């Protein structure tokens, strides 16, 4: 068990370089039309949880706190009808019809100003989309990247634990995001903890249609909020193979399918649609050159050696695993050394939904 002093120490690590800045009217209606057009033309799209996590331990390592005491975690507990795909990756836009959204001069200037940096380049752009949806997420970190160990070549859980540990800050790649929501739900906003998860939260209050934040989400605990009628937030028949796509019979509707069965159907106005744009930021030319030349990259061996030594130095027994990227016992042990638990408070308007547990 971590002491309160140790929890406070780790909580101070989980703060962004600057408070998030709220943004209004982020995209034009024409850009939104084209962004949704790509969602329709490039589907179907898989669940977020099905794309990024091979075990409950991997998912829990990205969140602030685990499951209630006495509960054995399974991925089914976190099953949620939220789907994802990418507009761009590795600094490349994947769909030329949205080049102006990805190679966005305004966003690049915002990213540089947020860090007080000289250079920035777009790195990644994705969307999350769902109809009515509950939220068991107590708060999480987006996947940080480090020189040599990045979200593109590493499991999400590892990058998250590296960020929470504070051991690799000299290798952390500076990043900034413009995250935008389109939702008409009058109760669904965005909760975040800019002063660390042991301090009071703040909230982007609804409605959040075409509103967003400029932020460093890799080092700030945050969570989207539930949306839509409660009785529709978990469609019957949802499982890890379920997909989201445009309804071929209507340009204004969308469907969720499990196999050949349509288990949910939504009008565009019922969606909660998130667009996440991310840039790498470089303070000066020396930092840019170090990143491009790969002269100070981490290796997996260095990372695991550092984590294991640090955990053992705190009196925690951890075996040296043969498969450290996927060993659930190792992941659980390493994460527990840096997991300070759930945030200490939530906005009363946005409680955490219950886990999906067996009766």
Q: What is the pLDDT of residues 133-178, one digit of tens each?
A: 998 888 999 999 999 999 889 999 999 999 999 999 999 999 999 9
234-241: average pLDDT: 94
Q: How confident is the model at residue 182 (pLDDT cuts 50, 70, 90)?
A: very high
pLDDT for 1 equals: 73
| 15 has a pLDDT exceeding 70 | yes
What is this structure's pTM? Answer: 0.92
Domains of the chain by start residue, with CATH? 15-299 (2.60.120.620)
- Interval 261-308: pLDDT, tens: 999 999 999 999 999 999 999 999 999 999 999 989 999 999 999 999
Please give the DSSP secondary-structure letter assigned to residue 89: E
| 227 has a pLDDT exceeding 90 | yes
Q: DSSP of 92-124, one letter per residue?
A: EES-GGGHHHHS-HHHHHHHHHHHT-SEEEEEE
> How far is the CA of 210 from the CAs of 26, 180, 192, 202, 229, in angstroms?
6, 6, 18, 19, 21
- In the three-class reduction of DSSP (H, G, I as helix; E, B as strand; rest coil), residue 144 is classed as coil
Query: SS3 for 227-286, per residue?
Result: ECCHHHCCCCCCCCCCEEEECCCCCCEEEEEECCEEEEEEEHHHCEEEEEEEEEEECCHH
Q: How confident is the model at residue 54 (pLDDT cuts 50, 70, 90)?
A: confident
| 56 has a pLDDT exceeding 80 | no
- Interval 57-78: pLDDT, tens: 887 777 776 655 666 777 777 7
| 239 has a pLDDT exceeding 60 | yes
pLDDT for 137 equals: 85
- In the three-class reduction of DSSP (H, G, I as helix; E, B as strand; rest coil), residue 24 is classed as strand
Q: CA-based angle 87:93:96, to the nearest 5?
A: 95
Percentage with pLDDT > 90 across the chain:
83
Helix (DSSP H) and strand (DSSP E) numbers for the chain: 10, 14
- Contact of 280 with 88, CB cutoff 8 Å: no
Choose the weakest-confidence range: 69-78, 158-167, 309-318, 340-349.
69-78
Pairwise pLDDT comparison (56 vs 107), residue with the higher score: 107
pLDDT for 354 equals: 58
| 193 has a pLDDT exceeding 50 | yes
pLDDT for 67 equals: 59
pLDDT for 70 equals: 61
- In the three-class reduction of DSSP (H, G, I as helix; E, B as strand; rest coil), residue 65 is classed as coil
pLDDT for 162 equals: 96
pLDDT for 71 equals: 65
Mean pLDDT value across the chain: 92
pLDDT for 146 equals: 97
| 127 has a pLDDT exceeding 90 | yes
pLDDT for 76 equals: 76
Pairwise pLDDT comparison (2 vs 92), residue with the higher score: 92
| 351 has a pLDDT exceeding 80 | no
- Contact of 271 with 182, CB cutoff 8 Å: yes
């Amino acid at each position: 068990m971590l002491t309160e002093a140790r929890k406070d120490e780790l909580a101070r690590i989980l703060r962004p370089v600057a408070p998030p800045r709220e943004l209004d009217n982020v995209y034009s209606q024409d850009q939104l039309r084209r962004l949704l057009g790509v969602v329709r033309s490039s589907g179907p799209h898989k669940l977020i949880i099905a794309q990024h996590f091979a075990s409950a331990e991997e998912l829990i390592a990205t969140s602030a706190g685990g499951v209630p005491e006495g509960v054995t975690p399974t991925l089914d507990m976190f099953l949620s009808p939220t789907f994802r795909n990418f507009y761009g990756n590795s600094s490349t836009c994947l769909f030329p019809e949205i080049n102006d959204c990805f190679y966005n001069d305004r966003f690049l200037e915002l990213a540089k100003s947020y860090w007080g940096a000289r250079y920035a380049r777009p790195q990644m752009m994705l969307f999350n989309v769902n109809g009515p949806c509950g939220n068991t997420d107590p708060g999480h970190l987006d996947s940080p990247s480090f020189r040599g160990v990045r979200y593109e070549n590493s499991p999400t859980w590892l990058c998250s634990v590296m960020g929470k540990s504070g051991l690799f800050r000299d290798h952390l790649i500076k990043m900034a995001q413009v995250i935008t929501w389109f939702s008409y739900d009058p109760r669904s906003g965005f909760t975040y903890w800019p002063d660390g998860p042991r301090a009071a939260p703040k909230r982007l209050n609804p409605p959040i249609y075409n509103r967003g934040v400029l932020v460093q989400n890799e080092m700030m605990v945050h969570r989207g909020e539930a949306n839509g009628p409660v009785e529709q937030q978990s469609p019957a028949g949802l499982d890890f193979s379920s997909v989201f796509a445009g309804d071929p019979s209507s340009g204004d509707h969308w469907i969720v399918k499990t196999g050949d069965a349509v288990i949910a159907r939504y009008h565009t106005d019922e969606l909660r649609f998130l667009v996440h744009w991310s840039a790498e930021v470089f303070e000066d030319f020396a930092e840019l050159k170090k990143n491009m030349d790969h002269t100070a990259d981490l290796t997996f061996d260095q990372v695991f050696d550092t984590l294991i030594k640090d955990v053992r130095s705190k009196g925690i027994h951890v075996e040296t695993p043969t498969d450290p990227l996927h060993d659930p016992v190792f992941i659980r042990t390493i994460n527990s050394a840096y997991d300070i638990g759930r945030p200490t408070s939530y906005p009363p308007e946005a409680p955490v939904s219950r886990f999906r547990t067996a009766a």
